[in-house]
Amino acid sequence: MTPTRRRTLHALGAAGTWGALGPLALPAPAHAAGGPQVLRLISRSETAFDPQRANDVPSLAILAHLFEPLYGYDPLARPVRMRPRTAAGMPEVSDDFRTWTVRLQPGIRFIDDPVFGGRPRELTAEDIVYTYKRFADPATKSPHWSTIEQNGISGLAALRREALEKKAPFDYARPIPGLQAIDRHTVRFQLDVARPRFAQLLADTATGAVAREVIEHWGEASGEHPVGTGPFRLGAWRRASRIVLERNPLWRDVRYHAEPAEGDEEGRRIAEALEGRRLPMVDRVEIAIIDEGQPTWLAFLNGEADVVSLPDEFLQAAVPGGQLAPHLARRGVQAHALPLPATYYTMFNMEHPLVGGYTPEKVALRRAIGLAIDVDREIRLLRHGAGMTAQSPVAVHLSGFEPGFRCEMGDYDPARARALLDLYGWRDRDGDGWREQPDGQPLMLEMATQPTQETRRYDELMKRDMAAIGLRIQFTPALWPVQYKAARAGKLMLWSTMGRAGSPDGLNGLQRYDAAASGGINLSRFDRPEMQAAIARLLALPDGPERDAVFREAKRLAAVWMPYKLRTHPVQMSLTQPWVAGYRPPLFRYNWYEYVDVRR
């Protein structure tokens, strides 16, 4: 690989560059004379609001404010620091990391709902037990089940197997040793094996507590009627158009407190300005669903959005050369760059007759496609420098991430791609310039895509890269939720999307290689015993050199079999209006609406 092809994090997202660009002082806008304080945001299309069923970032971002897991993260700490959310304190852990006891804060209430018959409904240990059992219920079809199963909650997988084998309803009433309500406010998790990082699961947005009577009342429509204990409740929802969250009047008395790292001056100023404020500080959150970049950018410029994740195509207009544009700086706008613990990737359906399978010629096809994708050009032209080439499934900020790690996953080498195709029989037999399959049948790649201008630009580069090695490709557009559903069902050949880690463990990025997660986060349906063995070891080992070595082996396997072409770890550039105080881009938490103030 030539020196110009060695990928490093571009200046805009240099490692550790997560602070604001431009003025660092907190804005001091005039307080409005009465009326609700409204935070106005823009998001991409959501699916539904059921924490155990949703796995897309737009839906999780809303769910994190409606439902609450046992733990969360400090809003300012870097590196991240866990802290109690509905729990009364940090978990009590046995020496062998197999028994975890959590005590709940008494008096936490679900929002009022007709299902409760007009009576207050307190969050109890039984709700936590029910929530975790829901992951195992086959009827839930949770994309998170494989993650829960890996943690080895004693008796939970057996309960699921019984429901599947007998084709009977899941038995929620049956006690299991792994999930015990010791008393009204104490829950105990018993694991079959040591899980040193189990606490991270207890902070995952997907584990937000639900009430059994609500789920049973609404059934399949539970995602349209969210009832949680979070700082907000759903006020209005027009699918793929508009979402309104309202302050939860029953939320307990929670005050702003944060502990920024020593030397974090911006964090210190935020913490001092907001310390002790009752949360949430805004009364209402209005979210417009916009999938296109240009209207997103214009909405922010016109003051119609308070915080926005800047579309890549407008990066140079807003932050040319890594500096906030003068016209924005004069307005008091702030820019925040954050290298995301996320990976943008192209999945291959490993069960598809053309691109799937584990025979040498199929592996050669996938690796050739990977080598032909010019990720560096993608970062320069489409991301405008806001990203780094993905060398492995372990993204920046995660344990197991190595800045200097390089492998074929990050290579761009169309000559080697053409040689691989020639060697394994993917040749142009009729001289028309396009390759055929080894058996002489026509070869046409089919890629699912979205009907947006941004996606079309990526498709154009993909078409160019495939043509350079003699492969034809056609694109089938549909809205993201539609493509996601089809991908989970194994109906797509190729699709590009992004996954984001929900906790600091590098194993997050390898979950999509777990055979047990097929139909869930493992969209490719990849299944290899050597990867399963590596994942099992990573789950059990404590952090340290031995675990780092296993991470390196797993990264090598990801490149060898290529069920996903990992493309970039993107850098998110967020812009905030001058009347927004307290914003810091979150790393592993989605709940941040309650931590900001808006005073127009």
Each residue of 502-527: pLDDT tens digit? 889 999 899 999 998 998 889 999 99
d(CA 146, CA 525): 13
Q: What is the pLDDT of residue 13?
A: 36
pLDDT for res 403: 93
C-alpha 310, offset from chain centre: 18
Confidence of residue 384 (pLDDT cuts 50, 70, 90): confident
Residue pLDDT, tens place only, 552-582: 999 999 999 999 999 999 999 999 999 999 9
251 in a structural domain: no
Distance of CA 482 to the CA centre of its chain: 18
582-592: pLDDT as tens digits: 999 988 878 99
Domain at 171, CATH number: 3.90.76.10
Q: Residues 353, 213: one domain? A: no
DSSP code at position 32:
P
71 within domain boundaries: no
Which one of 7-21, 93-107, 495-509 scores highest in mean pLDDT? 93-107
For 448-465, give one letter per residue: b (16+ CB within 10 A) or e.
bbbebebbebbbebbbeb
| Choice among 331-335, 337-341, 464-468 with the minimum mean pLDDT | 337-341
* Token pair of 417 as six digits: 């791609």
List the alpha helices (DSSP H) in 22-113. 57-66
Question: Mind listing the pLDDT tens digit for each residue in 102-127?
Answer: 999 999 999 999 999 999 999 999 99
Summarize the confidence of residues 344-366 as an average pLDDT: 98
Distance CA 418, CA 160 (A): 47
Domain boundary among 187, 219, 251: 219
When divided into structural domains, the chain yields a total of 2
Q: What is the pLDDT of residue 8?
A: 32
Encode pLDDT of 218-257 as tens digits: 999 999 999 999 999 999 999 999 999 999 999 999 999 9
The alpha carbon dihedral of 484, 486, 487, 493 has a sign of: negative
Whether 497 and 366 share a structural domain:
yes
d(CA 221, CA 224): 5
Per DSSP bridges, beta strands 342-348 and 284-289 are unpaired
Contact status, residue 258 vs residue 74, Cβ threshold 8 Å: yes
The predicted model gives 207-211 an average pLDDT of 98
Whole-number pLDDT of residue 34 = 64
Signed CA dihedral, 444, 448, 452, 456: sign only: negative
- Furthest-apart CA atoms within the chain: distance in Å: 76
Residue with tokens 């490093």: 8
Q: Yes or no: say if 517 and 206 are a contact pair by the CB < 8 Å rule.
A: no
Beta strands in 147-283 (DSSP E): 179-183, 186-190, 232-238, 242-247, 254-255, 278-279
Q: pLDDT band at residue 23, thresholds of 50, 70 and 90?
A: very low
Decide if pLDDT at 29 tops 70: no
Mean per-residue pLDDT, 2-28: 36
365 shares its domain with 508: yes
CATH code for the domain in which residue 482 is found: 3.10.105.10
**What pTM was estimated for this model as a whole?**
0.83
Residue 231 lies in a domain: no
Backbone angles phi, psi at 315, to 5 degrees: -65, -45
Both tokens of 436, joined, read: 């055929």
pLDDT for 312 equals 87
In the predicted model, what is the mean pLDDT of residues 138-155?
Answer: 94
- Residue 446 resides in a domain: yes
Does 19 have pLDDT greater than 70? no
Query: For residue 111, what is the DSSP state?
Result: P
Flag whether pLDDT at 30 surpasses 60.
Answer: no
Give the model's pLDDT for residue 27.
Answer: 38
User: Token pair of 578, please?
Assistant: 């001058």
Residue type at position 13: G
Q: Which of 203, 219, 235 is the last residue of a domain?
A: 219
Tokens of 241: 């158009």
Average pLDDT over residues 427-448: 97
What's the CA gap between 347 and 433, in Å, rounded?
26
Prior bond of 320 cis (ω within 30°): no
Residue 435 lies in a domain: yes
Could you tell me if residue 64 is inside a domain? no
246 is a domain residue: no
Q: What is the mean pLDDT of residues 528-552?
A: 95
| 174 inside domain | yes
Q: Which domain holds residue 155?
A: 77-219
Place of tokens 């997103």: 296
pLDDT at 7: 34
Q: End of a domain among 171, 202, 219? A: 219
Q: What is the pLDDT of residue 549?
A: 97
pLDDT the model gives residue 20: 42
